[in-house]
Amino acid sequence: MNLVFLGPPGVGKGTQARVLAGQFGLTAVATGDLIRAEVVAGTPLGCEAKKYIEAGNLVPDDVIIKMVEDLLARDNRQGFLLDGFPRTIAQAEGLERMLRGLGRQVSAAVCLVVAEEKVVQRLGNRRMCPICHRVYNLLHQAPLVSGRCDDHPDAELILRHDDDPATVRHRLQVYRNQTAPLIDYYRQRSLLKEVDGDGPVEDVTGRIVASLSR
Ligand code: AP5
């Protein structure tokens, strides 16, 4: 099973990707997490990507495609789950090309749907562990000890740079302009699964699993 996760910032792609990758034994590839790790490590790629990610813009297609290609070529699990890739038609075409070369194909593109005002509220209340990238929510998924990661109690949870309200509004605009066209791209290939992303995390997971078995 090779899955692609689509949907606007804050819709719950990362949260669901972590659950489903574990459940199905898939390699989870979160391009946002990969880029943030490069930024923290201060690699040339990270230094180049920093200005894009902090402004809420997309990192250039060729950089991202190369990064995913290297990872998928090494993947030897039962399949992959791509969270946040592809994000443009050029990336989707790049993915198709690289999978053809590996004798694989996308099994389904899951698009989570949540009202925009709710995703803005979720992002304002998101906190992240700087070590393991585990995501919390002050309203819905609070850590056991306020401000501390459950798995790394020494680590203080952080608010992502791009989660400030102005950058969130910009990221939503970038999503509408550059990523939303992928919904039709995958619908035309009969791969699209639109899933209601509202409600408790377990309910959303159940809806995704049900959509995949249809
Ligand atoms: P990325 O890190 O991928 O960010 P994103 O797509 O904007 O998505 P988010 O991580 O903000 O949200 P999510 O949908 O994963 O939601 P989450 O599960 O955290 O990308 C960041 C940047 O990297 C981009 O802007 C770009 O610069 C660059 N980039 C990455 N990929 C790229 C690519 N392919 N091409 C070019 N550039 C790229 O949940 C959000 C909050 O809601 C959390 O607090 C969570 O606890 C909570 N929550 C989750 N589910 C529920 C629920 N059911 N009910 C209530 N709360 C919930």
In this structure, is residue 129 part of a structural domain?
A: no
In this structure, is residue 50 part of a structural domain?
A: yes
Quote the pTM value: 0.94
CB 10 less than 6 A from any atom of ligand 1: yes
- State the distance from the centre of ligand 1 to the C-alpha of 131, rounded, in angstroms: 17
Amino acid at 3: L
The model's pLDDT over 149-201, given as tens digits with 9 standing for 90+, comes to 999 999 999 999 999 999 999 999 999 999 999 999 999 999 999 999 999 99
Contact 129, 155 (CB under 8 A): yes
The model's pLDDT over 23-48, given as tens digits with 9 standing for 90+, comes to 999 999 999 999 999 999 999 999 99
At 70 the pLDDT is 87
Dihedral of the alpha carbons of 172, 204, 147, 84, in degrees to the nearest 10:
-40
Q: At what angle do helices 44-55 and 61-74 cross, to 10 degrees?
A: 120
Amino acid at 79: G
Amino acid at 213: S
In this structure, is residue 121 part of a structural domain?
A: no
Specify the number of domains making up the chain.
1
Three-state secondary structure of 67-133? HHHHHHHHCCCCCEEEECCCCCHHHHHHHHHHHHHHCCCCCEEEEEECCHHHHHHHHHCEEECCCCC
In this structure, is residue 203 part of a structural domain?
A: yes
In this structure, is residue 78 part of a structural domain?
A: yes
Mutation test of ligand 1: which of 83, 140, 208 has the most ligand atoms closer than 8 Å to its C-beta? 140
- Say which CATH number the domain at 106 has: 3.40.50.300
In this structure, is residue 97 part of a structural domain?
A: yes
At 74 the pLDDT is 82
Contact 83, 135 (CB under 8 A): no
In this structure, is residue 23 part of a structural domain?
A: yes
Mutation test of ligand 1: which of 126, 168, 169 has the most ligand atoms closer than 8 Å to its C-beta? 126
Q: Is 41 helix (H, G, I), strand (E, B) or coil?
A: helix
Contact 190, 108 (CB under 8 A): no
Report the distance separating Cα 124 and Cα 126, nearest Å. 6
The model's pLDDT over 62-96, given as tens digits with 9 standing for 90+, comes to 999 999 998 888 877 789 999 999 999 999 999 99
At 145 the pLDDT is 96
Which structural domain, as residue segments, surrounds residue 64?
Answer: 2-114+179-213
What average pLDDT does the chain have? 94
For residue 144, is pLDDT > 90?
yes
The model's pLDDT over 9-28, given as tens digits with 9 standing for 90+, comes to 999 999 999 999 999 999 99
For residue 214, is pLDDT > 90?
no
Report the distance separating Cα 126 and Cα 40, nearest Å. 19
The model's pLDDT over 106-118, given as tens digits with 9 standing for 90+, comes to 999 999 999 999 9
In this structure, is residue 41 part of a structural domain?
A: yes
Amino acid at 119: V
**Could you give the residue numbers annotated as active site?**
13, 87, 126, 160, 171
Give, in order, the Cα–Cα distances in Å from 6 to each of 9, 19, 40, 83: 9, 16, 25, 7
CB 90 less than 6 A from any atom of ligand 1: no
- Residue 130 preceded by cis peptide, ω within 30: no
